[in-house]
Chain A
């Protein structure tokens, strides 16, 4: 690893970071910030989407039927304990065997991010649905709602705040952790951190850190905004009383 930044005074760090971020050279070309940002966002979005397609329906189904619910929490906890760094490293030999190019630059990070996003998506979808008052579900059934109508018209809308929280935390975790992929040939904003470290370029290193943090915060804000628009006002505590 490169020289530790701890010996550099804070003011100098801020200055070089600001300079690096302000440099027009860093905003163009295949290693420019727009290109790296889109790589980062595309990978995060793709892994979140793929994880959602599996984990959310599975969580909804388990929550609605109550089947296999004992499996969800224990397996999700074990799953969560998998360090993304190790997952990426372990995947490389296998994925490069399948495709020497994308198997190094894309697949390991993509799969590791899907693995990372899975537990919060699964657990929150399951808990959101399982937490819906059973009397309410029975009332719906008693009024002649079919199981699908109960899930779509009652359980999901009521569970939405919990499900959305799961999606949000998965998204933020993925955006922050996708940075690790740069160690194994994936691009993204992590590339600046790897390069900055290797080149002893504190401006680039901390520029990368700032960009990742900013992207994570922007993700958080975006999902909070969407959640506020989607969740029924009847469910927010502000309308209570």
Chain B
């Protein structure tokens, strides 16, 4: 291919400025979202997390104006979303939902090309882009292009949903519990693949989930919301786990928030002790999370394990104590995304 079908667009910064949404009017009006303010820098994933009914979906839908805010402003690269033509705005915002929402009467190829077709791309360009995206999400174009959504598994459909949202290379993606409808194993794989994809694409992403573990795994930033649509805490995952701003946040992230913090660091981050005899000790590759390493050490009941380096050579000894002291460090580095 001489001209890539992929346009190169920047990611856009997203800002919520005192955003409020009330349903109904007068006496009966209820606040779904209350004075929400935060900024998502371009190219990062911000996860909205909170209990059911706390206003996550409402917040998301105000960005692409499926819901009109009652007050406040949402700025995309500094300009108010309300000031732009609504269809033009929506065509440059990718949207992925739990129900996927693929069009059942169109083939997978045509589904992926919905927005490019709306934007008047030529057939050839649409086709090249479709194949490129299907490959990107791990679906071989030759096998999947001409199938219908009903002929795909739930996980495959979800990938097509992501491909479709990426089709016109939007600077912002909105994702509402995109991986909630698949089983835990598929979910984990989709999450991992998506994070790998994001490292290459560096989109700005607003991601909704009610699963704290997913929030910690996916988020560069996490906005914890509580009932009434209030922002309970906003910050990187380490900070939220290490220093919950309120009882609500502490309870919401769970008693095991220490363990959760361990899942943010890997063996590569850990200071090791000198290695003595290594017979019979478990070995850990550099990308093993400290949480998994701890679990393995506790089960194996050994004095420690062997940390390997990238080349697979022993680097030093990992002990339960060393892992525990990593928690004491105020801010373990986030190797997973570094």
Residues of A within 8 A of B (CB): 133, 135-136, 138-146, 149, 154, 157-158, 232-235, 239-241
B116-134 interface mask toward A, CB cutoff 8 Å, 1 = contact, 0 = none?
Answer: 0010000000000000000
B89-105 interface mask toward A, CB cutoff 8 Å, 1 = contact, 0 = none?
Answer: 11101010101010111
Tell me the minimal C-beta distance from B97 to chain A in angstroms. 6
- B104 interface neighbour in A142, A149, A158, Cβ under 8 Å: A158
> Would you call B115 and A144 a contact (CB within 8 A)?
yes
Tell me the minimal C-beta distance from A139 to chain B in angstroms. 3
> Would you call A239 and B66 a contact (CB within 8 A)?
no
Tell me the minimal C-beta distance from A160 to chain B in angstroms. 8
Tell me the minimal C-beta distance from B53 to chain A in angstroms. 18
> Would you call B95 and A142 a contact (CB within 8 A)?
yes
B71-111 interface mask toward A, CB cutoff 8 Å, 1 = contact, 0 = none?
Answer: 00000000000000001111101010101010111110000
> Would you call B97 and A135 a contact (CB within 8 A)?
yes
> Would you call B104 and A143 a contact (CB within 8 A)?
no
Tell me the minimal C-beta distance from B98 to chain A in angstroms. 9
Q: A135-B101, A142-B95, A143-B95 are in contact. Are A234 and B150 (CB under 8 A)?
A: yes
Contacts of A235 in B (CB 8 A): 104-105
Contacts of A241 in B (CB 8 A): 150-151
A139 to B97, CA, bound (A): 8
> How many chain B residues have a CB neighbour from A under 8 Å?
26
Q: A142-B95, A143-B91, A144-B91 are in contact. Are A240 and B150 (CB under 8 A)?
A: yes
> Would you call A234 and B149 a contact (CB within 8 A)?
yes
> Would you call A232 and B91 a contact (CB within 8 A)?
no
Return the 3 tightest CB-CB contacts between A and B, nearest first: A139-B101, A234-B148, A144-B91
Contacts of A234 in B (CB 8 A): 104-107, 148-150
Tell me the minimal C-beta distance from B161 to chain A in angstroms. 9
B114 in the interface, Cβ–Cβ < 8 Å?
Answer: yes
Chain A residue at smallest Cβ distance from B108:
A234
- B148 interface neighbour in A139, A149, A157, A239, Cβ under 8 Å: A239
B64 in the interface, Cβ–Cβ < 8 Å?
Answer: yes
A135 to B106, CA, bound (A): 16
A17 to B81, CA, bound (A): 75
